[in-house]
Structure 1
């Protein structure tokens, strides 16, 4: 089953959020409606999809999600979008 790593961005909070899911549309709606009461995304109302990475399965998605979070860098997130070859290399690891 396909999975996605997704990155959301809030202009008002000037923050990114990184997650993974097998149903991107549902997950975005959950973030926007504050479905999860203690979620980080509760800090803003204007989350938008910044980037999505389609993965072959949950294991690949979680590995990539962990890697991206470990980088702790807004510049890295922006470079992921700017240079798709970075994503290709992440999938090959």
Structure 2
């Protein structure tokens, strides 16, 4: 099975959201729906970055690593490095 680490961006909030899932498109629909939580504050989330993993554990470990940075600057660097490939 394939799992993904993804980063969403909301222009309205000027914020990033980091998550992991098995189906990015289905998860994005969930983020854009009416629900409780951080992503409920905006309806303009777009996927700006993703990585592929062969296990759920690896995807969630990468999510935890990126969240531990607590750094917008490092997230932007990661996204920009990917854009330059």
TM-score, normalised with respect to structure 2: 0.90
Partner of 2:16 in structure 1?
16
Which sections of structure 1, spanning at least 5 residues, go unmatched?
A: 85-93
Aligned equivalents of 1:39, 1:27: Cα separation in 2? 14
Q: How does 1:62-77 map to 2 (within 5 A)?
A: 62-77=60-75
Aligned equivalents of 1:73, 1:53: Cα separation in 2? 18
Aligned residues: 82
**How many Å apart are 1:21 and its aligned residue?**
0.3
**Root mean square deviation of aligned Cα:** 1.0
Which sections of structure 2, spanning at least 5 residues, go unmatched?
A: none
CA offsets, 1:18-71, max 9 Å, x none?
Answer: 11000111001111113xx22210011110111011111101101100000000
**How many Å apart are 1:83 and its aligned residue?**
2.2
**How many Å apart are 1:81 and its aligned residue?**
1.5
TM-score, normalised with respect to structure 1: 0.83
Aligned equivalents of 1:10, 1:26: Cα separation in 2? 17
